[in-house]
């Protein structure tokens, strides 16, 4: 995907599930930059998502909180959600967690902010 006025990076990675699960594969925010926008498919099952973060890709992932509450995003299928850059700027590795089990092969496309 082409850069939009320098705000978003040139790559548009995606994450998916390889089995029916609530937890998606690891997003490398060091390589790709901070997550900016998530694009949800029409088949997405969850009504909300939360995030798990770690300092290494194979580290212990912990629930991301801000102000003492889990960071969450309300999801509407076939829509996109913008993420607060002040929360995600320092995230190194992240997993997106759906409130409902997603079918094998469910994909979320991600626009990353340019660093």
Number of domains making up the chain = 1
Q: What is the pLDDT of residues 95-114, one digit of tens each?
A: 999 999 998 889 999 998 77
- Please, what is the average pLDDT of the chain? 86
Q: Please check whether residue 55 lies inside any domain of the structure.
A: yes
Quick check: 109 and 23 in contact, CB under 8 A? Answer: no
Q: Please check whether residue 7 lies inside any domain of the structure.
A: no
Q: Please check whether residue 8 lies inside any domain of the structure.
A: no
Query: What predicted TM-score, i.e. pTM, was given to this entire model?
Result: 0.84
Q: Please check whether residue 11 lies inside any domain of the structure.
A: no
Q: Domain limits at 46?
A: 33-112
Q: Which pLDDT does position 13 carry in this prediction?
A: 64
Q: Please check whether residue 27 lies inside any domain of the structure.
A: no
Q: What is the pLDDT of residues 54-65, one digit of tens each?
A: 999 999 999 999
């Amino acid at each position: 995907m082409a850069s939009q006025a320098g705000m978003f990076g040139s790559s548009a990675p995606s994450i998916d599930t390889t089995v029916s699960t609530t937890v998606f594969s690891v997003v490398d925010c060091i390589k790709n930059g901070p997550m900016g926008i998530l694009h949800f498919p029409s088949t997405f099952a969850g009504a909300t998502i939360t995030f798990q973060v770690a300092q290494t890709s194979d580290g212990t992932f912990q629930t991301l909180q801000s102000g003492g509450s889990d960071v969450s995003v309300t999801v509407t299928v076939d829509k996109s959600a913008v993420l607060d850059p002040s929360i995600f700027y320092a995230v190194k590795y992240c997993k997106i967690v759906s409130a409902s089990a997603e079918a094998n092969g469910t994909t979320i496309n991600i626009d990353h902010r340019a660093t």
